[in-house]
Chain A
Amino acid sequence: MREKVKPEEKAEANEIAQACSTCFEVPIGPIHPALKEGIRFTFWIEGERIRKVDIRPGFMHRGIEFMGTKRNLIQVLYLAERICGICSISHPLAIVQAVEQAAGIEVPPRAQYIRVIIGELERIHSHLLWAGVAAHELGFDTLLHYVWKVREPVLDILEDLTGNRINYAIPIYGGVRRDVPPEKYPVLKDALRYYRSLVDDFVNFFLRDPSIEARTRGVGVLTPAEADSLCAVGPTARASGLRKDVRQDWPYFAYPDLEVKAITPEDMGLEVRGDVYDRIVVRLLEVVQSIEIIERCLEEMPDGEITAFPKVAALLAHLKKAEGEGIGRHEAPRGEVIHYIRLQAGEEAPVVWKVKAPTYSNLMPWYPMFRDQEIADIPIVAASIDPCICCMERVQIVRDGRAETMWREELLRLSWDKTRRIVGGLGASHVAREGI
């Protein structure tokens, strides 16, 4: 394989050198401040213009699909949750659909609504996180700090509902593991009201700011035809005017009840240009859309069971007998996630498990986006499809001006305490306490 690869690479470099004698090579990544994850871009630059780009991922490949085929399905669910740190609910939501389809499991309606609520809360936090990152890439750190500050309440809500800020461990095959009880509705509604009140600010800060407009209008353009032929997904595709949204096209969970429509910049009365600015517009509109979806869920959510298998042992026994294949798709904050799974009777582990994350589909659209852009556009264009970020193992807490560092053992103890508190029904709202 290696012998075959090298000469081609050389030939390509030669071709570039011939085509543009004044070009020089600028590598961005795998480690670079513009990138939050390891990926390597090689740019051939003439002056400030990009003439050619080559993208080489693979620095973060962990062989999760391979690992999945060596573990039982419950373990696979938790493994799926850890594929991505930010859209940590997206992969479990896709894999539960695939397994439910393969094993023929009926899910109670209430569970489907809860899955939607958690999924949409995640979309809000993910889009806000992206907005902060995008601002930082543009050198606008003030906006980064502002957006990440207002992102905290949604994480608090998620923590209140599920016990965790990230990696919620909520879906299970056949339902969800924890209910959203009616006494939590008011807190949730408060948070949604808070975000609704911020929408105008977001529009002012992001869409009416002259320096942001100067940096994003006409930058990283992806035409509708390219978005279609390169199979772009999620906000990247929608910003190019394609009404492509799994929640609308191939609905699942409770989404058919909620009449979700794919959002494009046209919904804000703008002409579709498919640039970075449009991607900001789409993501902002989707935050509003998510708020509406959750509000409607809270109104319409039926009572009843939250899981088809209250006992995990019964679930495992059922899964062990199951045979068949299934696909599960979910519209993650970044676009379509698809899981294909094949089960064999008598096997605890899936025989085949294929995962596709949205960035995978959005890899090819990067090429036309970088075409003839400037070096200065690289970070924002790279970030505009919203690739992911990882986590940390310790935190520093500043309280009353004094800094205290908490280490892993202490955090673990705190997390056990919290789980006991939540299970004991004493989950006092973090949001109310912190008074948003």
Chain B
Amino acid sequence: MRAGEVLAALQGRLGERLRNPEVKAETVGYRRPRERECLWAEIAREDLLEAVRTLKELAPLHISIISGADVGDRIELIYHFAVGYGTETGEVMVNLRLTVPKDDPVVPSLCDLIPGAQTTEREKIEFLGVEFQGIPDTRKLFLPDDLAVHPWRKDEPELAGYVRRTVAWEEKGDEGKGEARREG
């Protein structure tokens, strides 16, 4: 699989709705240099499912991770797909970027197409407060059930309190541990 083919397929389906596509190629290896490619593009959340469906028809599809960030009044999600595993240098990293407004952070879930995306989507729910439409399980994954804040959001006023508390506890705990070690 080459990045050009992936791009052509995506553009064939989405046309202009695939914004700022960019193929980044790197040469790796010294004795047998190879080309390794990444595709970066932006899409709207309405087009996400169609894009993923296109990728899935194209080649074996693996979702590595969804990374996310708070960028001011919007939340940015980047879907990192690995398209076409199984052959030497045959994989293309496809990174689809989409942003959603904070007052309506709803994104369609990929769980129907890729059940394995559930873990990373659940993580985004608790860390960024994104909502996934159609995800079968919305419970917390990594954070305590009673934690009310979304740690990666920069507009969480309560978060600072949590961080301060943790640091204070750590410092105190370290002193205590030192004592225990010497006694032990």
Contact = CB atoms under 8 A, between A and B. Distances in A.
Interface of A: 1-2, 4-5, 8-9, 56-58, 61, 63, 65-66, 101, 109, 112, 228-233, 242-246, 248-257, 259, 261-262, 300, 302, 327, 329, 336, 338, 340, 342, 351-352, 354, 356, 360-361, 363-365, 393-394, 407-408
A250 B65 contact: no
A5 B36 contact: no
Interface residues of B, number: 53
Contacts of A256: 28-29, 32-34, 89
A338 B64 contact: yes
A354 B66 CA distance: 9
B148 A1 contact: yes
Contacts of A253: 28
B141 A249 contact: no
Contact of B120 (A244, A245, A360): A360
B182 to A, nearest CB: 8
7 contacts: A8-B139, A56-B141, A229-B114, A243-B86, A248-B89, A327-B95, A360-B120
A58 B119 contact: no
B143 A248 contact: no
Given A2-B146, A66-B151, A9 B139 contact: yes
A242 B123 CA distance: 26
A215 to B, nearest CB: 27
Contact of A257 (B30, B88, B145, B181): B30
Interface of B: 26, 28-34, 36, 38, 60, 62-65, 67-69, 78, 80, 82, 84-91, 93, 95, 114-120, 126, 138-146, 148, 151-152, 181-182
B85 A243 contact: yes
A302 B30 contact: yes
A257 B32 contact: yes
Contacts of A394: 181
A243 B65 CA distance: 20
Contacts of B85: 242-245, 249
A244 B90 CA distance: 11
Contact of B143 (A61, A231, A327, A340): A61
A57 B151 contact: no
A251 B90 CA distance: 9
Sort A-B residue pairs by CB-CB distance and give the 7 closest, nearest first. Answer: A256-B29, A231-B116, A354-B67, A249-B91, A230-B116, A356-B65, A58-B142
Contact of A254 (B29, B86, B89): B29
